[in-house]
Amino acid sequence: MTVDLTLPSGEFYNREDTTFASGSERCAAWVYRPTGPPLKPADGSASNGKYPAIVVGHGIGGIREYGLDRYCARFSELGIICVAFDYRHFGASTGEPRQLLDIGLQQQDWKNAIAFVKGLEDVDESRVGIFGSSFGGGHVTYIGSVDPSIKAIIAQCPFTSGFHSSLTVGFLPLFKLAFLGIRDLFSRGKNIVPVLLAGEPGQAALMNSPEAMDYKLIVPEHLQDGPNYVAARFALKISFYNPGWRTSSIKSPILFGVCGKDSVAPPGPTLKYAAKAKDATIKLYKDMGHFDIYVGPQFDEATKDYCTFLRSKL
């Protein structure tokens, strides 16, 4: 299947490469600066001439090139500075061993990315939002529960329940993943025991539902041979990460973009958790699978809703 991954026109923004500190490492980031005026404050107050901003992060094993550039381009057209980043140990960021997915480290990466954005000279630090997709959607749900300064949150096809997502994998693959995870705990230095990010049904992979291999749809052609694995120790923790439990603590406006046919991040638990958020906008895209929302007319439909949300909240 061929999917159009053409970026929206670049006439509305300039993109810069940069890094920011996270722990002892550096996270690689893109900064999208609009060429037009700032988005007007949603509360009707007078603009101070600075730009609102949004931090954009991906899911399990995802890097900026896996479609985040298209969201940044779309948001920049509104007059929002966008920063998309790679987690430590992934993509262009530093950190050894490579492909080490640690929930606590990634949460800290989000906090450091937000601090970096608030420190940009032309950013209005009182108008900073966050956008996370898939596992990143779980992270922004968590961040929203602990940081009331966030002005607006978008959680796209969010991972909200490690327990329910683990059930989609199957008992035998889960057993194999646990075995590999235990072996990986004894790895040293740059060495890891890898597990597949995406595999066929029945394989020992973090995602092995019938749509799991559709993740290739969001990977540019020149990166199709990139790593489809992470350090196996992550498999020992994923079932216990349930950011949906924290939705009732979120004080900021949050939009949940839920895919009705999602077999990776089941929509049922997400809809239940989303209803508990104090200021939630819930968009259910009934006919979309987990990876459909990144491409084609599905991308256009969802980002239209996201832009409406940002105009009204940011």
Q: Give the model confidence (pLDDT) of 200-258 as tens digits.
A: 999 999 999 999 999 999 999 999 999 999 999 999 999 999 999 999 999 999 999 99
pLDDT of residue 11: 80
Q: 144 lies in a domain?
A: yes
How confident is the model over 95-120, as a mean pLDDT? Answer: 99
pLDDT greater than 80 at residue 2 = no
Instruction: State the total domains in the chain.
Output: 1
At a CB cut-off of 8 Å and minimum separation 6, what does 264 contact? 134, 157, 165, 168, 207, 209, 211, 212, 290
Q: 89 lies in a domain?
A: yes
Q: Copy the structure tokens of residue 301.
A: 């439909």
Q: 168 lies in a domain?
A: no
pLDDT above 90: percentage of residues in the chain: 96
Q: 189 lies in a domain?
A: no
67 DSSP β-pair partners: none
At a CB cut-off of 8 Å and minimum separation 6, what does 106 contact? 87, 88, 139
Q: Would you say 151 and 313 are in contact if contact means Cβ atoms under 8 Å apart?
A: yes
Say which CATH number the domain at 86 has. 3.40.50.1820
Q: Would you say 270 and 258 are in contact if contact means Cβ atoms under 8 Å apart?
A: yes
Q: 3 lies in a domain?
A: no
Pairing of strands 152-156, 280-285: unpaired
Give the Cα separation of 140 and 203 in Å (integer): 29
pLDDT greater than 50 at residue 273 = yes
Residue 303: how many CB atoms within 10 A of its CB? Answer: 20
Q: 257 lies in a domain?
A: yes
Q: 201 lies in a domain?
A: no
Q: Buried b vs exposed e over 67-77: b needs ≥16 C-beta within 10 Å?
A: bbbbbbbbbbb
Q: 110 lies in a domain?
A: yes
Residue 191 DSSP SS3: coil
pLDDT of residue 7: 59
Q: Would you say 100 and 25 are in contact if contact means Cβ atoms under 8 Å apart?
A: no
Kindly report, residue by residue over 17-68, the tens digit of the pLDDT: 999 999 999 999 999 999 999 999 999 998 999 999 999 999 999 999 999 9
Provide the residue range defining the domain that includes 38.
10-162+240-313
Q: What is the average pLDDT value for the chain, to the nearest integer?
A: 96
